[in-house]
Amino acid sequence: MPASLDLVDLLAFAAGSLLLVWLSRKPLRHPGSHGFYRFLAWECMLALVVLNRRPWGEDPFSAHQLTAWVLLLASIFLVVAAVRSLRRAGRPTPQRDDNALYEFEKTTQLVSDGIFRHIRHPMYASLLALAWGAFFQAPSWAGGSLVAAASLFLLLTALADEKECLAYFGQTYADYMRRTRRFIPGLF
């Protein structure tokens, strides 16, 4: 059970939130964009990490912490695989006119190979694994509420992203959606 929050926790959350607001300044100007919902998920994950920072790793061989480490490693694998595929096949260009996107997100080619052959949103799946990994470091009711909210915001992120991709890539993306699952290959 996590201890009560102290001044260090509050300052860490405030500093992290300021950083996230700065990083998300473009998407925050576009409510309903995938970046808007992603910011809300990041805030929940930041709160979860701050909440669980002290018990992190206290009992490294407990079932819940072993689960956490498996999820955290999966998170790293997913994001690395996704970035590699995006860089190799996505052909991002600053000419893609969408101010809510980061530069690496401004892909001009639909990426459907590598990790994207198996799931549509490996980066959001990575964030889900990160959120649940942080939760399992020290499961609690407060942490459960935060990870549930983060999961909901990541689902909303994916749904908004799919709408944006359908608008940009059209039928090609609709066909891709029929072939792949959102977060977990073969399941969801």
Q: Residue 119, SS3?
A: strand
101 or 89, which is more confident: 89
Domain limits, the chain: 7-179
Is the CATH number of domain 7-179 1.10.238?
Answer: no
pLDDT tens-place string over residues 11-34: 999 999 999 999 999 899 989 999
pLDDT of residue 101: 72
pLDDT of residue 54: 82
Evaluate whether 168 touches 34 at the Cβ level (below 8 Å): no
**Whether this model's pTM surpasses 0.85:** yes
Torsion from C-alpha of 34, 187, 175, 131, nearest 10 degrees: 20
Evaluate whether 50 touches 4 at the Cβ level (below 8 Å): no
Looking at the chain, how many residues does it have?
188
pLDDT band of 180, cuts 50, 70, 90: very high
pLDDT of residue 1: 45
pLDDT tens-place string over residues 38-48: 999 999 999 99
